[in-house]
Amino acid sequence: MVEHTDRTPNAAEWDERYGETDRVWSGEPNGALVTETGDLDPGRALDVGCGEGADAVWLARRGWQVTALDVSGVAISRAQSHARDAGVDVTWVHAGLVEAGLPAGTFDLVSAQYAALRTSEQAVAEHTLIDLVAPGGTLLVVHHDVDPEHLHDGGFDPAQYALPSDIAAVLDAGWQIEVDERRERSVSGGGGARHRHDLVLRARRR
């Protein structure tokens, strides 16, 4: 099932990027997701910026009820195909995080793996992300540790987007930060493979 909402301004750019090659990412679940959620009891999960669907499929195979969103229709189409091949059900949402209008407090796991969430003075994206986590639920935010003086892949300017430190800054006493660290990563192929370190934030809503 795919739920459609208004496309965000950068959706066409992401469609173009995905359209340049048959596959952008490695096709494997992100390492931090596997490490940080392997011991969690399955429940309702949200995969933010799901790309070609590797994380969503991995979670669904482990019994999670998965909702996955992305601004790119090309990515969503590929993710659907991946899920069909894997024999799992996922609810796909073609939208950006803020525009999706998902109900607050819904998900036992909210995972944002390298998601391009635009930051703002009001920290709208940051608050939208954390508000989606249910009481007792887990928030997992992972991003590349990038040099702020240089553009990221595809012209991505890290100063314009919410990083794990920005998310951590809006967590209040209702949260317990369980992991907040820089760690090595090893990816054999796909976009982002050249990056050697990640910033990982895992927090639990009390």
Q: What is the DSSP secondary structure assignment for residue 41, as one 8-state letter?
A: P
Q: What is the DSSP secondary structure assignment for residue 185, as one 8-state letter?
A: -
- The CA-atom distances, in angstroms, between 173 and each of 26, 83, 107, 137, 170 are 37, 38, 19, 15, 10
Length of the chain, in residues = 206
pLDDT along the chain (206 residues), means of 10: 51 76 76 96 97 96 97 94 97 95 98 93 96 98 76 63 95 98 75 72 98
**Which residue pairs from 168-171 have beta carbons closer than 8 angstroms and sit at least 24 positions apart in sequence?**
168/201, 168/203, 169/123, 169/126, 170/123, 170/126, 170/127, 170/130, 171/130, 171/203
**C-alpha angle 190-84-193 in degrees, rounded to nearest 5:** 10
Domains plus CATH for the chain? 2-205 (3.40.50.150)
Please check whether residue 4 is in contact with residue 70, taking contact to mean a CB–CB distance below 8 angstroms: no
Cα–Cα dist 38/165, whole Å:
23
pLDDT of residue 5: 46
Which residue spans within the chain are E strands per DSSP? 2-4, 44-48, 65-70, 90-94, 107-113, 133-144, 175-184, 197-205
Q: What is the DSSP secondary structure assignment for residue 95, as one 8-state letter?
A: S
pLDDT of residue 189: 54
